[in-house]
Each structure stands twice: as structure tokens, then as C-alpha cells.
Chain A
Amino acid sequence: MTLTEREMSTITAQVNGETMEVPEGSTILDACREVGLDLPTLCYGPTMTAANACRVCVVELEGSRTLVPSCSRALEDGMVIRTGTERAQHSRRLVLELLGSASELDRSGDQLDSWMRAARAESDRFGPNAATVATPPKIEDDLYVRDYGRCILCYRCVDACGVEHQNTFAITVAGRGFDAHIATEFDVALPDSACVYCGNCIAVCPTGALVGRVEFDMREDDTWDESRQEVTRTVCFYCGVGCNLDLHTQDGRIVSVTSPHDHDVTLGNLCIKGRFGWSFVSSGKDD
């Protein structure tokens, strides 16, 4: 079968009463976005296989006993999907509230704020004594900070470090139940672990639990101001692979470097040099 034939085979399904045709292989989430529905997602990332961890994207599937995660469930011919049933709304809201009550979500981006508002989720409704995952940020080197008080255990960092992208396997989930947390081998400090400091975990973290040191320090000093930042797309300075970089600059200085997730060379990934090796650009200015 040629590519064109494959693209041409479509399936028909119904989303919130609207009948639609989407390419075979689409997920329920793809279909929902196709009709303009903004379902929340936290553990799902466009460059990764869905981890099915966070459950904030669940929807009602006619004939299914349970709610289904829209990010990973493939759409099938004749499916009838409802996103706004009371059960689905209640579930999404409760999951957001539980996550928000256990973890600091104030650096998860504007999109999460709007999802919280849309779901009428109130993170503080379990009272001041609700258990949290609060823990001091791990600052172990000059490159990045692991601030696990913001972690929602979405597995994206674990998957990016593992089979999805980097194949280094420096981190995984340790512990069970509420004690589950992301850890290096034997919980050693990052510099003593297998980590190669590519920062590809930072690139996929949805809550700001993993963050570059410069950004972390600026946020702590209250000088990080995205409204004053510009982003310039360029190509990495180091080897000849040609990774695209987005240089985030504030007040004429680079403050962070990322790679676009839709760039087919990197899929958002970089190595230690590309992500962190840029301080030479501004170094002359301090001298």
C-alpha cells in the first residue's frame, strides 16, 4: 500500500453529536481537537507514545463501562464520543484538583490555568492539611534543577530518558502509592548517576518540575519575565548534525535554549552542548 492510499483510508465517528471523518490511526484526542475541543492533557506529548498516567483527558465512550483516556485510545469506526457528560467532567475536575492539591502547578503554563478554570477545579478544596509531594528543590549542579514538589508523575521525563528518545535510562519511578517519586539509581545525586545532562527530560516536563538552572534562579529572584523575552530560531553551534535551536533572550542575553518539538532532526531533543553550552555567547559581556 502506498502512503497516499494509507492516508486516504478514513474512519467515521461521532464526537458530541457531530459526525466526522478522520484518518485511520487517529486518537480520540486528535478527533476532539479536530472539532475544536480543548481537552486538558498533561502526560501526553506530541513526540511521545502516550503514557496513560495523568487521566486528565478522559472522555465518555458509548458502550464502554469506564471513561477512556482520549490521548491514547485509537478511534474506531462508529465510535460515539461525548466529552461533556457529568461523569467525564467530574472525573477530569477531580483529577485536576487532586494533582493541584498534591503538587505546585503554578509553573505549568497558561494552558493549565485555563483548563483548571474550564473544569472549575479548585486545588484547595481538600483543606490546608491535604497531603502534598512538597520537597526542597534538588540543586546539584549548574545546569538543572529537579523541583519535585511540582511533579505529577506523568512519566514523560522517564520515557524521554528511556526508550522514547535518549535511551540513557538514568531515571525511573521509585516507591509505591503516595511515596512514588522520580529517582536516579539508588536515589544518588544527579552528577553521580547515569545522567548525561541532555536535558531532554526538561524539554517534556509539563509542570516546570524539571528546569534549567538559569531559569530556576531567575524565577526565584523574580526576574524571569516571559513577556520581555524573544525567541529566535537558529541552528546549533557545535557539531554538524544541524539541530534547530530556539534561543530565548531577555534583555539582550540568552536565558534558555530549547529545540522545537516539530523539528524532524531533533523532535525537541538536544545534547548537553546544545542545550547548555551557550554561555560563551554572552561571556565576553561580563569581562
Chain B
Amino acid sequence: MFGAGGGTSSYREIEETDLIIMWGSNAREAHPIFFHHVLKGVRNGARMFAVDPRRTSSAAWADVWLGIDVGSDIALANAVGREIIHSGLVNQEFIDEATEGFDDYAASVEEYTLEKAEKITGVPAEAIGQLAREYARAETAQLCWTLGITEHHNATDNVLALINLSLLTGHVGRYGSGLVPVRGQNNVQGGGDMGALPNKLPGFQDVEDQQKRARFEAAWGAEIPAKAGKHISLMHEAMDEGDLTALYIIGENPLQSEADSTEMRRRLTSLDFLVVQDIFLTATAELADVVLPAAGWGETEGTFTSSERRVQRVRKAIDPPGEAQDDIAILSALARAMGHHWPTPTAEEAWDEMRQLSPLHGGMSYERLDESGGLQWPCPDLDHPGSLFLHGRLWERPISGRRAPFHAVEDDPPVDTLTEEFPIRLTTGRRLDSFNTGVQSGRYSSPRRIPGVLDLSPEDGDSLGVIEGDRVIVTSRRGSLEAPVRFDRSLRPGLAFMSVHFPDDVDVNVLTLDAWDPKSGTAEFKATAIRVEPLVSV
């Protein structure tokens, strides 16, 4: 946000903040140790609001739960913004000195009255007003979100709608106040740090910026394509159009993790050439022409970057099995096979090269990372202590650098509409003991495992005439599957939930829609229209 791809705050800030908003995040189950810090904040007297369609185990700790209808986040956020403006609770000094575009934003939210928002979101007007006023009045506030905000066809707009609220109130760039997207995977932040994004070089430097590119070209002695590459959803399109015919997949299981898996299987099998580099023979790897066995976690050296922008060392504890090699070795060998003279660098050598080119990471030598137990970027030089929070510059007067822009965004409901034929909203997510498609987490024996089931509210179960354990047919506009029913009181009538962890048994992505956000490429996993029918036994 504001040019830096990372959360603004440190975990310790949430322990001392006055108000916590968990928006589309069930951290109690998906990020349990982050939630320990949230709980410290609650124990220290912070007020907590949870915005979530489900009354989750995280929401159970909130003072107020806003049970929002799936995909109506922008309407809610805009109504919160309007209420803050109309109550005279904006931070006028901050808006005047550190932001731009306020007037357009204020005009854009004017139509989102509390009453209108209640109609769109299903959240009582009173609760929306309360959230608005408490957020604006709090001395410090942390606004946290996860995939409930980003797995939508308008993911980027959802995030912008939340950022607008922080700009209205000045809840960013100060100790205790910030914006906290909690990352779902060990190194999704680090992947972004390293430029594993189609439009960025390491350190979030824009690939289309000629000056930035030139530095990398000089260091690497090679030309870098001047245009941004394709994100995953654009790759799918290119595969459909026959422009992309060969794919090299490293450490992903897209056959099972991407929306609309029937389409995904068709795409992957119609490629001319598919290479998969993974630690297991995943369902995706089984489709590959060549499988490269990679060394896994615990078997390699490197770094991960956490959700507080903290780079920490990852170390090798055991040798990889069989012929497996770490990714750097495989990539270097591949380059040599293509006729380039690439020696195989150690993880530290590759890191040192990167930090010559990425100012954010410049001061993070392995030696310092080992000594400190981790450093938070930006950390430009060896004397820099790292950064607890971002955007402190917004509070300098006059501010240094660019003003933070408001972005007017409009409510845009889920693509997969609810109709008489598909009356139930299915949303997907994680459970406490499992992880993504279960490739790793499926291999330990958990007493808390909830297998592939369809979670329904008891009320919907009653009206369908099913009891727990009954098998039902779940159908969306893409496909259909069979699953046993489980009742979950955190769900309201009309809302169903499935986890993503057991694609071999219950492949939920047969149902999901690959409508995706044009700005981030994220698919709308969170909003599928389904119908549920009892399986008639014969």
C-alpha cells in the first residue's frame, strides 16, 4: 500500500492498541499465534470488532460481530466512511496535510447511508454506525484482514476501501495504528519481496521503470523484458487462447488449489509441455511431462519474510531424500543445461546479490539476521535497525514524499449471483489443523481433523430434511459434488462453508468460479452460489 507491498505494523502494536478490527479474518484458526497477540490486546483493554459472514471462533472474542453478507465489504466500508464524515470525526489535519483525493472520495460514499448499507450487507445500521464512531474516536487502531477481503473478483477495491478508512482517521503510520494484511503462507510476503510478481523486481521495484530495470540489467548482464508479465489468471487466459503452451510450476498444486478445477485440468492437459518441481508427486505433478524432485522445508537454507515484514533465517536440519535437490541447485543446473555458465550459489550468496539491488533489504546480512533473530524491512544499510512500522513519513510536516491517495470504489456484488436455482452462498476457507490442499498437513494424524464436509446452518439442514452425516449433492453453475453434511452454528441460514483441504475426497474447486480481480489476479473463492439436495438412497 502507498507503494510498499507489506503490512504497516508489528505484532507487538496490536497488544497495545485501543481498537482492533478483524475484517474477513478468522485468525484464531488460520493464524493462531498472531491471534495470541490480538488476545493480549483484548486483555489489555482493546475493543474488538469482527466483520465476517461467519460467527467464527475469532468473532467470539469480539465486542461486536458484524455478520456481513459475503462480498458486500465495500458497501460496508463506504458506509463506515460516510458515517465518520457525517459525524464530524475525520482527522482533518491528517487529510489536509498527508492525503489527496478526499473530496472525490467523500462524494463517492455519500450514497452509502447506514440504511442502504444495512440493506446491502445485512448488518444492522446501528452496528455499522458504532464501528464507524469507535474506529474514528480511538486513539490507536489496527485494521486487520486476510482472504475474506482478497479472495473476491474485486479484491483490490476491497483493500482500497479499507485503506480509505485509515486515511480518514489517521490510523496509519503511527505506533499502534496501522493496516495489517496477515499473510496466509510462510513466505508469500517473501515471494513478493523477491519480485516473484509479474510486475515487480526484488524490493517491489517496478519492472516497467526504465531506471530501476537498468540497475538490474547492469548487475545481471542481461536484458529484462520491459513489460510486466502475466499473473496467474492472465496465464489461464493465455493458455485458453493457445498463446501459452509450456508451463514450469515450482511448489504449487494449481490443479487442486485454483478455482474451477474442471477447467484447470483441461488447461493443464492441453499444454504442449508441463514441468513440475515439487517435494511430492502432487495431483498437478501427475499431469507433468517432467517432474523435478525438490528438497523441502527443513532440508534447505534461506529466509522467509513474515506478515510483519520480518525477514528470518530458514535453516537446513536434515538431508533431502533420494535425488531431491534444493531449488537454487535445480535452477542453476537448468541454466547450465541451456548453455549458460551459472555456478550454483549458496543461499547466502544469492541473498547477498539480491540485497545489493533491493534497498529495502540492503542491511540484512545473514550475520545480522542470525544475531537479531530477524529484521523488518525497510532496512537499507548495515547500521539500520529495521522498521517497526511503515509510513511514519505521513506524519512529518510537511510530509516527505507523495501524499497517500484516497480511492473511490463502488459496491460490486459477487459475480456468481444467488437465484432460486442456486439459493445458498458457499464460502471457503481453512480450518485450524490443516493447510491449503493438504499436501503437507494431510500427513500428520490430527485428532481435530474435520474431513471434507459441507457445513450448513442447522436451520438450512432442517429445511432440507437432512441430519449431520447425511450425504448431499452440492451443485454450482460449474459442477457438482457429493459430501456429508455437518451443522455449524457459526453459520446463518443461507450461508454454507467448505474447507479447501481435501481435494481428493471433496474437490470444492469443482464448484468455485474463476471470476478474478483484474488488478491482482485473485479468483473469487469466497462467493459461490450453490444448491443443496439430499442424496436419495436407493
Contact = CB atoms under 8 A, between A and B. Distances in A.
A271 interface: yes
Nearest to B440: A280
Given A265-B11, A281-B296, A234 B31 contact: no
A238 B12 contact: no
27 contacts: A140-B447, A143-B446, A196-B432, A197-B433, A197-B447, A236-B186, A237-B297, A239-B182, A239-B183, A240-B184, A240-B186, A240-B189, A241-B11, A241-B307, A244-B312, A244-B373, A249-B317, A254-B317, A265-B306, A270-B33, A271-B432, A273-B432, A277-B433, A277-B444, A279-B444, A280-B439, A284-B279
A240 B32 contact: no
Nearest to A232: B317
B308 interface: yes
Contacts of B39: 167
Contacts of A264: 11-12
Contacts of A142: 444-445, 447
A255 to B, nearest CB: 11
Interface in A239-287: 239-244, 247, 249, 252-254, 263-267, 269-274, 276-285
Contact of A253 (B43, B318, B441): B318
B498 interface: no
A283 B443 contact: yes
A277 B374 contact: no
B31 A239 contact: yes
Interface in B23-69: 30-34, 36, 39, 43
B447 A241 contact: no
A141 interface: yes
A111 B31 CA distance: 35
Contacts of B432: 196, 271-273
Contacts of A237: 186, 297-298, 440
B448 interface: yes
B316 interface: yes
For chain A, what secondary structure do more than half of its interface residues adopt (helix, strand, loop), or is it mixed? Answer: loop
Nearest to B444: A279
A235 B12 CA distance: 18
Contact of B447 (A141, A234, A273): A141
Given A237-B440, A265-B11, A273-B435, A282 B318 contact: yes
A241 B443 CA distance: 22
Contact of B306 (A234, A241, A278, A283): A241
Given A236-B186, A240-B185, A254 B318 contact: yes
A201 to B, nearest CB: 14
Interface string A19-41: 00000000000000000000000
A242 B307 contact: yes
A281 B447 contact: no
B321 A284 contact: yes
A28 B318 CA distance: 43
B516 interface: no
Contacts of B296: 280-281
Contacts of A190: 447
Contacts of A73: none
B510 to A, nearest CB: 25
Contacts of B31: 239-241
B188 interface: yes
A234 B36 contact: no
Contacts of A196: 32, 432, 448
Residue from B33, B186, B443 whose CB has the most chain A CB atoms within 10 Å:
B33
**7 tightest A-B CB contacts, nearest first:** A242-B306, A240-B183, A271-B32, A232-B317, A142-B445, A280-B443, A191-B447
A168 to B, nearest CB: 10
Interface in B177-212: 182-189
B403 interface: no
Contacts of A180: none
A36 B304 CA distance: 38
B298 A238 contact: no
Contact of B182 (A238, A241, A283): A241
Contacts of B225: none
B280 interface: yes
Given A197-B447, A239-B185, A244-B373, A233 B315 contact: yes
A285 B315 CA distance: 20
Interface residues of A, number: 53
Nearest to B37: A265
Nearest to A284: B321
Contacts of B110: none
Contacts of A118: none
A230 interface: yes
A270 B446 CA distance: 15
B412 interface: no
A157 interface: no
A266 B308 CA distance: 13
B381 interface: no
A120 interface: no
Given A141-B447, A277-B441, A240 B306 contact: yes
A41 to B, nearest CB: 24
B313 interface: yes
A165 interface: yes
A276 to B, nearest CB: 6
A139 interface: no
A234 B43 contact: no
Contacts of A140: 447
A278 B444 contact: yes
A163 interface: yes
A183 B186 CA distance: 35
Contacts of B319: 252
Contacts of A165: 36
Nearest to A144: B447
A277 B435 contact: yes
B190 to A, nearest CB: 9
Contacts of B439: 280
B251 to A, nearest CB: 11
B375 to A, nearest CB: 12
B478 to A, nearest CB: 28
Contact of B36 (A233, A254, A269): A269
Given A142-B445, A238-B440, A281-B299, 17 more contacts: A166-B36, A196-B432, A234-B313, A235-B312, A235-B314, A237-B186, A240-B189, A240-B307, A241-B34, A241-B307, A244-B312, A244-B373, A252-B319, A254-B317, A269-B36, A273-B435, A280-B296
Contacts of A236: 186
Given A234-B313, A234-B317, A242 B446 contact: no
A197 B307 CA distance: 24
A58 to B, nearest CB: 30
Interface in A164-199: 165-167, 190-191, 196-198
A271 B33 contact: yes
Nearest to A253: B318
B186 A197 contact: no
Contact of B446 (A234, A253, A276, A284): A276
